[in-house]
Structure 1
Amino acid sequence: MRILHTSDWHLGRSFHREGMLGHQAVYVDHLLDVVEHEQVDLVVVAGDVYDRALPPVDAVRLADETFARLAASRAQVVVTSGNHDSAHRLGFGSRLIDAAGVFIRTDAATVGVPVLLEDRHGQVAVYGLPYLDPDTLREPWGLPGRSHEAALGEAMSRVRADLDGRPGARSVVLAHAFVAGGEPSESERDISVGGVSLVPTALFDGIDYTALGHLHGRHTLTDTIRYSGSPLAYSFSEARHRKGSWLVDLDATGLRAAEFVDAPVPRPLARIRGDLQVLLTDPALARHESAWIQATLTDDTRPLQAMEQLRRRFPHTLVLAFEPTAHRDSATPTAPTQGRSDHEITLDFVADLRRVPATDAEAAVLLEACDACCDDPDVDTLLTAGAG
């Protein structure tokens, strides 16, 4: 049986206000092409189909189109819900959709009930484990502790109890969790409970293939336990990620091979750092001119109109930060504010931020702003007279 493992589509998500739905649609086209060209028998989607519990209409439309196209393809499909999904919304109508060969599993109560598939070697039992919230399941499942390990451990006990009655069956598990050995990025939502989110790989011992979702980078924890990662980058911390899906082959004895299939990259990501003039003139940075850019300026003095200048060379600059090379003297005491006007305090702030005093014109604008925010419009009259 040939399996395509994907996860964390996050349909409807944006990237620093850049709409991603068009790029997500391109990934769906790629996914269907892989199914046909690689003769995939089963597609598994390990959670976070949507980016939020109440997804936008366009995202729902794309998901509907995707599942319809997959149902019409040569492959069968097993989908689970992630921590970003609403289990009830994603799972609505799942019993009817099963008949089309798309099996959506969002109910924790059914974790021990597999989707049963056949190939020439016999039966393959596919267990879809949705995201399991320990707080929600602690009482109904009688969990020994308030942790993801306890919730997932109970789910795997139910999986193994079912497998014990299926001698010779090979097993595939989908799980949406933070499993030890993976590396998080900045774009995942924290799922820790009481500061603990990790679960050990030992929970999946004996399973022929475990398809993980939640982390956005691809990871091979063991030969049989893998994260596919998200098909698109959703933060600059993913700039060096290789995006795609795992193409997995099961033979009569279990996992035979796993190959990573690269996804199309809509636009590369780059992090650049340095003085503004260096970034604007360094020929080595030419390769990043069409990339989405996160720029960090190290100028001692904050340049004026820095974003506008950067975008003349790097038109897709999305994030700009300032980290002066010269370290500020942390021992310098903060000037007292008592007995000083709002205008004086504001001027000190500007000088501290930019490391140069405000110009006369800037000081005049700041004075007008202070007056506009003050109950007494004449509060800085003496300062105005002095400035004249």
Structure 2
Amino acid sequence: MPRFLHLADVHLGYDRYNNKERTKDFFLAFENALLKYAIEPQVDFVVIAGDLFEHRTIQPNILNQAKVCLQLLKEAHIPVIAIEGNHDNRPYGISTNWLKYLADDELVILLEPDRAETGGVIYEMWNGEVGGYIDLDCGVRVLGSRWYGASAPRAVEQLAQAIQQLPASPGHTIMLFHQGLEGQIARYQGAMRYTDLLPLREAGVDYLALGHIHKSYVEQGWIFNPGSTEANSVEEANYDRGVFLVELSDQGIDAQLKKDYYQRPWVRLKLKARGQESTEDIEQSAIALVEAAIRSGELQPEEQPMVELRIEGQVGFDRLELDTRKLQQDLQQLSQALVFLLKYEADSVEYASPLAEDASRTQIEQEVFTDLLAAHNHYKNRAPELAKGLIGLKEMQLEERSEAELYEFVEELLGA
């Protein structure tokens, strides 16, 4: 019974947090997943459904990471079959890219259907250098595709027509396709509907190996998306994702999502401000929250996790009064996080006193000043008194009183 490993969205060279260790995580995750779920069980082949790399232009060390991993498979006599994703596809008018380089170096089989003169698609068997599909010795046919973007629904129709023109498959038919399915994650534009993919099913595809969306999902027993091998962002930390170890038999498809390989741990914390706290209270609460996470074992400093602390709610001070940069540094040192993300999303407390329709200018000013002062922890207890003082200060300014007089007035007002 044929067995294979299905990966997607490896994103070697990921550099969002400008941290070399974080970039290395993507290599370690890829390498460890291959060792545990391809080489150790000796699968028949590996498929990569797009986005092996994060960028079209890569640094030499990132190329070397790919070669190290793929060489392991080559030495184990496990063929690797890949397609381009949107991150690593070649720009329009360019004939090569780094996936093509790896294919020329006989580290991957890059499957690419040809474009027909009529505008459709032609599938030619892989000849050792180029081709759109390959029939493997284990009795499995693997079909390739490209990144099609918004034109994917039309491309599916052309691909299905081309598949129907091929000789009979030696057994199960797998197709690699880098595109997202509608309804899997929120706020994702450009996803395909399930009905858009049905022509591939009708053309004989038994296992549609997807990539692109970084969350794992299975649809109707024939569409499989493993998700990214490593979380690309804090939002993805909670996604179910990994690699699919798949066994094909006459009874059907057994695809097991494997997640037990090297991945950097993520810890997400939340602090809710009530509006009464001072900046010192917020700082101490944040420190206490991290300490509690360490005591409970949720956060383990020795693992150097990725940590996010989100401060929400309302505060009774201007946000600039809280030194978030220093707080972030202190919390990173406390948690020993590889990267500590401090998200300050609290709003300042707002007050709005009702005003009579016939209120005078002085009354309006009094209420406005009172509301502004009442929203601040340091001044709210003396808000009415200080509001009158600010009106007096304004009058002195209009009278063009000297700076010394103005300063003396403010000093007496605050010291009263």
Give the one of 253, 258, 270 matched to 2:255.
258
- Counterpart for residue 235 of structure 2: 237
Shift, 1:13, TM fit: 0.5
SS of alignment partner, residue 256 of structure 1: strand
AA partner of residue 285 (structure 1): A
TM-score relative to the length of structure 1? 0.71
The 3 A distance-change label for structure 1 pair 94 and 240 is closer
**Deviations 1:171-191 (CA, angstroms, capped at 9, x unpaired):** 000100012343268xxxx7x
Q: Who is 2:153 aligned against? A: 149
Indicate whether 1:118 and 2:128 are aligned. Answer: no
Deviation at 1:81, TM superposition (A): 0.6
**Separation in 2, partners of 1:18, 1:259:** 32
Equivalenced residue count is: 319
- Bigger shift: residues 48-57 or 310-319: 310-319
Cα distance in 2 for residues equivalent to 1:322 and 1:384: 39
Separation (CA, whole Å) in 2 of partners of 1:57 and 1:331: 63
Structure 2 equivalent of residue 217 of structure 1: 215
TM-score normalised per structure 2: 0.67
2:108 is equivalent to residue 102 of structure 1? yes
CA distance 1:329–1:47, shift in 2 (3 Å):
farther
Match of 1:197 in 2: 191
- In structure 1, the gaps of 5 or more residues are 135-146, 333-347, 359-381
Larger Rg: 2
Tell me, yes or no, if the aligned pair for 1:148 and 1:199 is still in contact at 8 Å: no
Tell me the secondary structure at the aligned position of residue 47 of structure 2.
Answer: strand
> Is contact 1:5-1:44 (8 Å) kept?
yes
Mapped partners of 1:280, 1:258: distance in 2: 43
1:125-175 deviation line (CA, Å, top 9, x unaligned): 1001121245xxxxxxxxxxxx3211233223322332xx21553200010
Question: Which amino acid in structure 2 is aligned with residue 198 of structure 1?
Answer: M
- Aligned in 2, Cα 1:288/1:252: closer, same or farther, shift over 3 Å? same
Going from structure 1 to structure 2, the CA distance change for 1:167 and 1:230 (only over 3 Å counts) comes to closer
Judged with a 3 Å threshold, the aligned counterparts in structure 2 of structure 1 residues 318 and 156 are, in CA distance, closer, same or farther, namely: farther
Counterparts of 1:1-388 in structure 2, within 5 Å, are: 1-19=2-20, 20-30=22-32, 31-87=34-90, 88-93=96-101, 96-97=104-105, 100=106, 102-106=108-112, 109=115, 112=123, 113-119=132-138, 123-134=139-150, 147-162=151-166, 165-166=167-168, 169-183=171-185, 192=189, 196-200=190-194, 201-205=197-201, 206-252=204-250, 255-274=252-271, 275=273, 276=282, 277-282=284-289, 284-286=292-294, 287-290=298-301, 291-298=305-312, 300=315, 301=317, 302=319, 303-304=322-323, 305-316=326-337, 317-324=339-346, 328=350
The 3-state SS of whatever aligns with 2:97 is: helix
Query: Hey, what's the Cα distance between the residues in 2 that align with 1:7 and 1:199?
Result: 20
5+ residue gaps, structure 2, are: 91-95, 116-120, 124-131, 274-281, 355-368, 380-401, 409-416
> What is the rounded CA distance, in whole Å, between the counterparts of 1:385 and 1:153 in structure 2?
82
Please give the root-mean-square deviation of Cα atoms over the aligned residues, in Å: 3.3
- CA distance 1:204–1:357, change in 2 (3 Å): farther
Paired residue type of 2:192 = L
